Chain A
């Protein structure tokens, strides 16, 4: 079993929809939780990072962490075709290494 599980998708939604992306993890020692967006042929781009359980909002993006369930989510409101990309969750373990999920491919169609 991988330390971080993420549904690979693809997830296909119409423009304007609310998108929910999720990751589960097994290591309760994970402390920081990040979401990255990766466009084709580009490096990952940091979207958000959170430390504690709860919600963090940035524009159309909301990151949610539930440490008790070992579950994190990224919500995208009013999704746009330009949001079409692969979304990677990542977590930092106690040895300070970054562990990534395999990524979820999102397609937003007009």
Chain B
């Protein structure tokens, strides 16, 4: 089975712009979660989608949003980018709603200038 794929792998944006990141889960997986990873804060949970519904949300501002499509693919959007949004954004998928067996993609590295 192909693993979790994320596009693009690298992105450079400027402050104030918006960005959309894409995630394709492992075939058959219905749950997709998004995380932000930075050297200072480590891995932080953004949100989780299951069957097109947001099931859980972390403590991030409303500038961070996401959605899931009927084929389980997911996108996350960050509007009005700030310098502090520079991070590795990771997507993880799991078959059901359990978080204990998530499989991560390679991430999208976002640099905000």
A contact residues vs B (CB 8 Å cutoff): 32, 34, 36, 41-46, 49, 51, 88, 90, 92, 95-103
Contacts and interface: CB of A to CB of B under 8 A. Distances in A.
A97 B97 CA distance: 11
Contact of A92 (B58, B99, B104): B99
B101 A100 contact: no
Range of interface residues on B (Cβ < 8 Å): 20 to 34
Nearest to B43: A100
A44 B100 contact: no
B90 A43 contact: yes
A50 to B, nearest CB: 9
B100 A49 contact: yes
Contact of B4 (A43, A49, A103): A43
Given A88-B43, A95-B56, A96-B56, A32 B99 contact: yes
Interface of B: 4, 33, 35, 42-45, 48, 55-56, 58, 90, 92, 97, 99-107
Given A42-B107, A96-B99, 7 more contacts: A42-B106, A43-B90, A49-B100, A92-B100, A97-B45, A98-B45, A102-B42
A55 B5 CA distance: 33
Contacts, number: 53
B52 to A, nearest CB: 18
A98 B99 contact: yes
A81 B42 CA distance: 24
A46 B104 CA distance: 8
Contacts of B33: 98
